[in-house]
């Protein structure tokens, strides 16, 4: 289990979808110059491979981390607004294992979805990172359920519940953006 | 299907189709485990020992040109469905054994209604037009998007391959990286453990078809009336 600090972002879903389509199109067209321009990167960084997509088919390492970081920066700029940042390293562990939260199947499932990296676009999945997404309805449901449990929650979970409640619409949780 | 594979299917880690494909060689492994449990006791009088043969032995026989042994093994292994049946029919076609072929073709026809065999063929056929026809048939048969993208990622056409890789990256990054490492040998790519079951379920059959000879397998499938 990772020990990092979770941040909740209010998601502009149409903007993230537009970005995903844009990036996919550039990779399919294999347009190095346009890709570098879109990511605000030095085009020299993309001279190593003939096919753009290949940069993202290898592990994120010294030679590719700048590309991944640029993509994530772009996603944050276009579609993600930070809404709550935990100052506790214990928050993720509490969310995954705190019994009062886990006793309710709906609450438990919603938290698991919010901490499941497979629910965010490929370029937001950093190696070893925690990430996930809830749509507006699920976020509101989870927020209400955590509110009802507020008196039983630990301080970091109480702060998280309040942060979740202040978001309007979809939310993305991430610990490495 | 083993209890572990059943659990994986239930948890969504493994497709039911993948589990069935992985099972192709399972009886052999199970028999080996059983043999090991005998503690060195001799087999009972009058009881034939269980066959130790699998598809690897079939393909090894074909590769050394021993078609008689290959066909004998296929006949022994054939359970009336799946890849063993299709390979048995392809072997009969190659041998010009019309009697056996006619007997098997109706069952092969039933196999051709699934997307998996069509996509495995599309992934290994050298003829782009023939491969595309099988790919389209798989799509009509309800092939999942990841499987179609994977198939395109192995295309000989550079544009189609690039599109397939991008699609696969978007749909299933772990599988895309595994395909990049194992199938395309892209420099620096590393197989991702999260995709190992899905990869093995599809790649096993594809590799068997490649080793057997895709043209013969495609021919028998086409003749069964399923695709073209």
pLDDT by residue (tens digit) across B65-76? 999 999 999 999
Single out the residue of B56, B99, B96 nearest to residue B74, CA to CA: B56
Q: Which of A16, A29, A31, A53 has the most B C-beta neighbours within 10 Å, making it the best mutation to test the interface with B? A: A53
Interface test mutation site (partner B, options A32, A57, A62, A118, max chain B beta carbons within 10 A): A57
Cβ separation of B180 and A58 shorter than 8 Å?
yes
Q: Are A121 and B170 an interchain contact pair (Cβ–Cβ within 8 Å)? A: yes
Of A75-79, A110-114, B221-225, the least confident: B221-225
Whether the CB-CB separation of A121 and A16 falls below 8 Å is answered with yes
Predicted pLDDT of residue B26: 45
Q: Is A57 on the interface with B (CB under 8 A)?
A: yes
Q: Output A89 or B112, whichever has higher pLDDT.
A: A89
pLDDT at B198: 85
Percentage of chain B beyond pLDDT 90 is 49
Listed in sequence order, the residues at least 6 apart from B42 whose beta carbon sits closer than 8 Å to its beta carbon are: none
**Chain B contact for A53, CB < 8 A?**
yes
A21 touches chain B (CB under 8 A): no
**Is the per-residue pLDDT at A64 higher than 70?**
yes
Tell whether the model's pLDDT for residue B23 goes beyond 90.
no
Task: Say yes or no for a CB contact (<8 Å) between B177 and A27.
Answer: no
- pLDDT tens, residue by residue, B35-45: 444 445 555 55
| Contact check, Cβ <8 Å, A58/B176 | no
**Burial group, residue A75, by CB count within 10 angstroms (0-12, 13-18, 19+):** buried
Is it the case that residue B169 has pLDDT exceeding 60? yes
How far is residue A17's CA from residue A15's CA, in Å, rounded to a whole number?
5
CA dist B216 and B90 (Å) reads 6
Q: Please tell me which of the candidates B162, B170, B186 has its beta carbon nearest to residue A58.
A: B186
pTM for the predicted model, two decimal places: 0.79
pLDDT the model gives residue B114: 80
Q: Is the pLDDT of residue B1 over 80?
A: no
Residues of A in contact with B189 (CB under 8 A): 54, 57-58
Residue A166 has pLDDT above 80, yes or no: yes
| E runs forming strands in B10-157 | none
Q: B160 CB near a chain A CB, below 8 Å?
A: no
- Report yes or no: A34 and A109 within 8 Å, Cβ to Cβ: no
Kind plus residue range of the DSSP H or E element containing B84: helix B82-95
CB contact under 8 Å between A122 and B180, yes or no, is no
Residue B202 has pLDDT above 90, yes or no: no
Say if the Cβ atoms of B166 and A53 lie within 8 Å. yes
Burial code (b: 16+ CB inside 10 Å, e: under 16) for B109-138 equals eebbebbbbbbbbbbbbeeeebbbbbbebb
- Banded pLDDT at A25 (limits 50, 70, 90): very high
Average pLDDT value for chain B:
81
Checking if the pLDDT of A69 tops 60, the result is yes
Nearest CA in chain B to A126: B173
The pLDDT assigned to B37 comes to 46
Cβ contacts of B140 within 8 Å, gap of 6 or more? none
B163/A28 CB distance under 8 A: yes
For residues A97 and A93, what is the distance between their CA atoms, to the nearest angstrom? 6
Give the DSSP H or E segment for B30. Answer: helix B26-37
Higher pLDDT: B93 or B25? It is: B93
Closest-CA distance, B160 to chain A, in angstroms, reads 9
Give how far B184 is from chain A: nearest CA, Å.
11
Q: How far is CA B175 from CA A76, A118, A164, B194, in A?
A: 26, 13, 33, 8
pLDDT digits (tens, 9 = 90+) for A82-120: 999 999 999 999 999 999 999 999 999 999 999 999 999
Q: What is the pLDDT of residue B72?
A: 94
Could you tell me the two tokens for B100?
């056996």
Chain B nearest-CA distance from A156, in A, is 31
Across the range B19-26, mean pLDDT stands at 50
Four-CA torsion B146, B184, A53, A123, nearest 10 degrees: 50
Inform me whether the pLDDT recorded for B7 exceeds 90.
no
Q: Beta A171-174 vs A131-134: how paired, if at all?
A: antiparallel
């Amino acid at each position: 289990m990772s020990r990092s600090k979770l941040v909740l972002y209010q998601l502009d879903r149409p903007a993230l979808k537009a970005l995903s389509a844009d990036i996919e199109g550039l990779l399919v067209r294999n347009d190095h110059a346009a890709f570098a321009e879109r990511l605000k990167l030095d085009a020299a960084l993309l001279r190593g491979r003939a096919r753009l997509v290949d940069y993202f088919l290898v592990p994120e390492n010294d030679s590719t981390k700048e590309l991944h970081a640029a993509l994530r920066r772009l996603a944050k700029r276009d579609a993600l607004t930070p809404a709550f940042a935990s100052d506790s390293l214990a928050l993720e562990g509490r969310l995954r294992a705190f019994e009062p939260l886990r006793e309710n199947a709906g609450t438990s499932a919603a938290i698991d979805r919010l901490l499941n990296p497979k629910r965010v676009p490929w370029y937001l999945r950093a190696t070893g990172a925690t990430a996930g997404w809830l749509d507006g309805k699920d976020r509101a449901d989870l927020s209400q359920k955590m509110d009802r449990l507020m008196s039983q929650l630990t301080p970091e979970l109480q702060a998280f519940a309040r942060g979740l409640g202040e978001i309007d619409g979809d939310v993305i949780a991430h610990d490495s953006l | 299907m083993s209890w572990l594979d059943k659990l994986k299917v239930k948890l969504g880690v493994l497709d039911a189709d993948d589990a069935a494909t992985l099972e192709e060689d399972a009886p052999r492994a199970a028999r080996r485990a059983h043999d090991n449990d005998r503690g060195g006791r001799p087999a009972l009088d009058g009881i034939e020992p269980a066959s130790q043969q699998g598809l690897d032995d079939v393909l090894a026989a074909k590769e050394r040109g021993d078609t008689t042994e290959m066909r004998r093994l296929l006949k022994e292994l054939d359970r009336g469905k799946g890849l063993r049946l299709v390979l048995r029919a392809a072997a009969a076609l190659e041998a010009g054994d019309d009697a056996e072929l006619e007997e098997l073709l109706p069952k092969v026809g039933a196999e051709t209604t699934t997307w998996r065999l069509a996509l495995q063929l599309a992934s290994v056929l050298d003829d782009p037009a023939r491969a595309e026809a099988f790919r389209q048939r798989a799509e009509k048969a309800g092939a999942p998007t990841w499987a179609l993208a994977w198939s395109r990622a192995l295309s000989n056409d550079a544009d189609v391959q690039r599109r397939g890789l991008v699609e696969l990256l978007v749909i299933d990054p772990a599988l895309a990286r595994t395909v990049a490492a194992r199938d395309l040998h892209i420099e620096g790519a590393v197989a991702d453990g999260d995709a190992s079951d899905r990869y093995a379920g599809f790649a096993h059959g594809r590799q068997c078809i490649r080793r057997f000879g895709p043209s013969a397998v495609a021919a028998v499938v086409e003749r069964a009336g399923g695709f073209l």
